[in-house]
Amino acid sequence: MKKIKKALITGITGQDGSYLSEFLLKKNYKVYGIVRRVALEDETHRLWRIKHLLKKITIKSASLESYASIVKIIQKIKPDEIYHLGAQSYVSYSFEDEFSTLNTNINGTHYILSAIKEFSPKSKFYFAGSSEMFGKVQKNKQDEKTRFYPRSPYGISKVAGFELTRNYREAYKIFACTGILFNHESPRRGFEFVTRKISSSVAKIKLGKQKHLYLGNIEAKRDWGHAKDYVRAMWSMLQQKKPSDFVIGTGEMHSVKEFAKLAFSIVGLDYRKYVKFNKSLLRPTEVHKLRANYNKANKILKWKPTVKFNQLVKEMVEEDISSLDKIFNE
pLDDT tens digits, 83-140:
999 876 555 555 666 887 888 899 999 999 999 999 999 999 999 999 999 998 878 8
pLDDT in tens, 255-272: 999 999 999 999 999 999
Pairing between β-strand 176-181 and β-strand 246-248 as defined by DSSP bridges = parallel
**Helices 67-77 and 108-119: crossing angle, nearest 10°?**
40
Quickly state the pLDDT bin for 221 (edges 50, 70, 90).
Answer: very high
Look at residues 211, 161, 212, 220 and name the one whose alpha carbon lies nearest to residue 193. 220
pLDDT at 2 over 90: no
HEC readout, the chain: CCCCCEEEEECCCCHHHHHHHHHHHHCCCEEEEEECHHHHCCHHHHCHHHHHHCCCCEEEECCCCCHHHHHHHHHHHCCCEEEECCCCCCHHHHHHCHHHHHHHHHHHHHHHHHHHHHHCCCCEEEEEEEHHHCCCCCCCCECCCCCCCCCCHHHHHHHHHHHHHHHHHHHHCCCEEEEEECCEECCCCCCCCHHHHHHHHHHHHHCCCCCCEEECCCCCEECCEEHHHHHHHHHHHCCCCCCCCEEECCCCCEEHHHHHHHHHHHCCCCHHHCEEECHHHCCCCCCCECCECCHHHHHHHCCCCCCCHHHHHHHHHHHHHHHHHHHHCC
Q: Give the C-alpha separation, 146 to 138, whole Å.
A: 8
Q: Which residues are catalytic?
A: 130, 132, 154
Quickly state the pLDDT bin for 220 (edges 50, 70, 90).
Answer: very high
pLDDT in tens, 136-190: 887 889 999 999 999 888 999 999 999 999 999 999 999 999 999 999 999 999 9
Long-range pairs for 300-304: beta carbons < 8 A, 24 or more residues apart: 300/240, 300/244, 300/246, 301/233, 301/236, 301/237, 301/240, 301/246, 302/236, 303/232, 303/233, 303/236, 303/248
What's the confidence (pLDDT) of residue 297? 98
Question: Which domains are delineated in the chain?
Answer: 6-184+224-248 (3.40.50.720), 190-222+254-284+309-328 (3.90.25.10)
Query: Highest mean pLDDT: which of 38-42, 43-47, 74-78, 84-88?
Result: 74-78
Q: What is the mean pLDDT of the chain?
A: 92
What's the confidence (pLDDT) of residue 209? 92
- What are the backbone dihedrals phi and psi of residue 220, each rounded to the nearest 5 degrees, phi first? -60, 135
What's the confidence (pLDDT) of residue 92? 56
pTM of the model: 0.94
What's the confidence (pLDDT) of residue 45? 67
pLDDT at 44 over 70: no
pLDDT at 46 over 90: no
